[in-house]
Amino acid sequence: MGIAENARAIRGRVSEALRRSGDAARTVRLIAVSKTFPAERISEAMDAGLNAFGENRVQEITAKYEELRDRRTVLNEDGSAAGVEWHFIGHLQTNKVKKLLEVPTKYIHSVDRVELAVELDRQLQRRGESREILVEVNTSGEPSKSGVEPDEATRLLREIAGLETLKIKGLMTVGALTDEVAAVRGCFSKLRKLSELACQEAIHDVEMRELSMGMSGDFELAVEEGATMIRVGTAIFGDRTNKE
């Protein structure tokens, strides 16, 4: 199937999941995770009406952004225009921050430690810019995963809330890598509860309106549990197995 058909099928499944969640009015942003795929495939996805792209490597997002920077909008199926958005979703090393900021990202999804936030703020001050960010939480407990421990999330939010150039908009997680539905759902509901908790704490300058969770294999569960953004790669672009 082509990208347009894949995207349409995913949007249909998202609508069904929203209906099941009893929150059909929520909008869910579909982020097409284009990592490992060349700019031409992203261009094709833009022709198919996709406007938000997720990348997990600094070198790759900056190169693709440069290659595609003339494409600022895409046309939706109803003929309206949507601005192109770049999302950084991967582990971010402090020494790559400066390079990443060459891209005017919509969200950096993966802020998971104080030192990283401080470096982002320092480089943004120099540029006279700000960025919207999410805090990544390791809800699965898998040691290979990035993200702050759930117990530490509120403290991290408090510690970085004062950094003027960072606009904290919500939380992000990667669900457990398992076929056990209950375990995966547990990760997503944990993220939602953490977000509600942080909301109650009413930390100054911290907004908790976005939940970035759900990938090709589990986005329906994530939408049922409250996702506002899903990050979908293979279900849109096909297999990456020979590319990584």
Binding site for ligand PLP (CB under 6 A): 33, 35, 56, 89-90, 174, 215-217, 231-235
CB 118, min distance to ligand PLP, A? 23
In whole angstroms, give the CA distance from residue 176 to residue 185.
Answer: 9
Would you say 186 or 238 has its CB closer to ligand PLP? Answer: 238
Q: How far apart are CB 56 and ligand PLP at their closest, in Å?
A: 5
State in angstroms the smallest separation of the CB of 208 from ligand PLP.
Answer: 20
**CB of residue 162 vs ligand PLP: minimum separation in angstroms?**
27
CB nearer ligand PLP, residue 35 or residue 64: 35
Residue written as token pair 């297999």: 239
- Min CB(217)–ligand PLP separation in Å: 6
Look at the chain and count its residues.
244
Between 43 and 234, CB nearer to ligand PLP: 234
207, 216 contact by CB (below 8 A): no
The residue (of 186 and 217) whose beta carbon lies closer to ligand PLP is: 217
The residue (of 33 and 84) whose beta carbon lies closer to ligand PLP is 33
CB of 138 to ligand PLP, least distance (A): 12
Can you tell me the distance from the alpha carbon of 109 to that of 147, in angstroms, rounded to the nearest whole number? Answer: 10
Contact 210, 171 (CB under 8 A): yes
Residue 25 corresponds to which amino acid?
A
Q: Which is nearer to ligand PLP, 33 or 42 (CB)?
A: 33
Q: Nearer Cβ to ligand PLP, position 203 or 237?
A: 237
Minimum CB–partner distance for residue 29 and ligand PLP (Å): 13
d(CA 153, CA 175): 16
Residue nearest to ligand PLP (CB): 233
- Distance CA(168)–CA(207), nearest Å, equals 6
